[in-house]
Amino acid sequence: MALAVGVIVVAAGESPGKSWRGLIPLKSTRADVQRLLGKPIAGGGTIDLYEIEEGHVNVIYVGERCEQGLPADWGNWNVEPGTLVNISITLHVPQPVRRFKIRNLKRYKWYTDNSGATYYHDKRRGIEYQVQAGTVTAITYGPALTDQRLLCKRGVPRIKY
């Protein structure tokens, strides 16, 4: 388990990239994900679910080029259908924030939801940490600031979910 968590820690600390195990949002495809993770335990549409040693993995793909009206980073991307949009790992064992070597978490854009979880989002790198009681419970890798050039329409309101 320590090795598996170490893989996430190393991946989370990468700079400036935001890839996870070599998978890059808005560049990698479903075929790339399946080569790495195998067959999903559920999915087949725009969301595939995996179970790995570290936790639950949700992988979201583009359904249609420039699709509008979807939450957060799901839609409005001018890339081929089946392209990876984001990867979210919900950890089986929450890890202390300090293990991720995050510099100055307070500089990240953040919000707290009704469950008490706080989400820290680094738009530049396209990574978001879900933190509860001083521990990281989930990590999401998504489009980075440099990916904005792939948006179909700029200034479209983002739907928070």
- pLDDT digit string, tens, across residues 37-82: 999 999 888 999 999 999 999 999 998 888 876 655 567 899 999 9
Cα-to-chain-centroid distance, residue 26: 11
pLDDT surpassing 50 at residue 3: no
pTM confidence score: 0.81
pLDDT surpassing 70 at residue 9: no
Q: Report which residue type is found at 161.
A: Y
pLDDT surpassing 80 at residue 90: yes
Q: How far apart are CA 131 and CA 95, in angstroms?
A: 9
Average pLDDT over residues 140-155: 86
Quick one: pLDDT at residue 4? 42
Beta strands of 65-161 (E only): which ranges? 84-96, 109-112, 118-122, 127-132, 135-141
Place of tokens 């790995």: 52
Quick one: pLDDT at residue 48? 96
Q: How far apart are CA 111 and CA 114, in angstroms?
A: 10
Cα-to-chain-centroid distance, residue 39: 19
